[in-house]
Amino acid sequence: MRRARGFVVTFVVAAILGTVGTAAAYHTRFVADNCNYAASTPTSYITRDGSAAVALRARYEGYQWAGGCWNDNDRDDSPNDPREDPATGGEGGDCSGFTFKVWRESLDQSSAGFEQWGLLRYVHGPYTAAAFKAGTGAPNVTVSKTALIKMDALASDTHIGLIYAANPDGTDQIIEAKGEDYGTGVWTRTYRGSSSYSGVRRTGWSS
């Protein structure tokens, strides 16, 4: 059942990605000019702050629905591309693609191993925010929201963000790919207390 669900998610994401490159309305060539499809590199371990460093390198970069490729020049190289269009070829990941890459997950949902993806590797991964929320995939489990720590995630049916730090007032600093108008960055959020959100953890961190 879990595999079947994973297949459906993969299919849907692949279908969305398949439309990239056929966009007629928008014109950024960020993906075409910069991104690659190189193989990932299996790695034996990753620490939580190593993962945070990967995430921070995406900060100030763009957002692209269904995307997964960005550079590290601290600006959105495809600003103002249309919202809600997965086919504009713009810079950045979306929330779930960003999480997949930062958590160094595998395209094989049955594998819990770590895969290093280059910043410019165009990859979204097989999971939507809702799939992460459900703990879909071998590396991912749901966790009580009171037990979350740095680089665990809070996921709803439509969004996922990673916990970067706690604030004294009970809010969290979340690192996330938020949307076309926001790009990728660290913001104060109140996801933890919201009943729309659940706690998710990538397993297997090195300590």
Residue 52 binds to other proteins (criterion: CB under 8 A) = yes
Q: Is the distance from CB of 109 to CB of 134 less than 8 angstroms? A: no
Lookup: tokens for 132:
């992460």
- Residues between 68 and 87 with contacts to other proteins, criterion CB under 8 A: 72-76, 83-84, 86
Residue 50 binds to other proteins (criterion: CB under 8 A) = yes
| CB of 2 vs other proteins, minimal distance in Å | 20
- Pick one of 46, 69, 123, 131: the residue that binds other proteins (CB under 8 A): 46
Residue 203 binds to other proteins (criterion: CB under 8 A) = no
CB atoms closer than 10 angstroms to residue 42: 12
Which of 7-15, 18-26, 30-38, 52-60 is the region at the interface with other proteins (rule: CB under 8 A)? 52-60
Q: Which is nearer to other proteins, 95 or 136 (CB)?
A: 95
| CB of 172 vs other proteins, minimal distance in Å | 8
- Pick one of 87, 91, 156, 162: the residue that binds other proteins (CB under 8 A): 156
Separation CA 122–CA 118 (nearest Å): 9
Whole-Å CA distances, 134 to 2, 138, 141, 169: 10, 12, 8, 28
- Residues between 166 and 195 with contacts to other proteins, criterion CB under 8 A: 166-171, 173, 178-179, 181-183, 185-190, 192-195
Separation CA 117–CA 107 (nearest Å): 11
With residue 33 as reference, give the H or E element that holds it.
Answer: helix 30-34
Separation CA 23–CA 37 (nearest Å): 19
Q: Is the distance from CB of 109 to CB of 138 less than 8 angstroms? A: yes
Q: Which is nearer to other proteins, 110 or 165 (CB)?
A: 165
Lookup: tokens for 120:
């410019």
Residue 11 binds to other proteins (criterion: CB under 8 A) = no
| CB of 85 vs other proteins, minimal distance in Å | 9
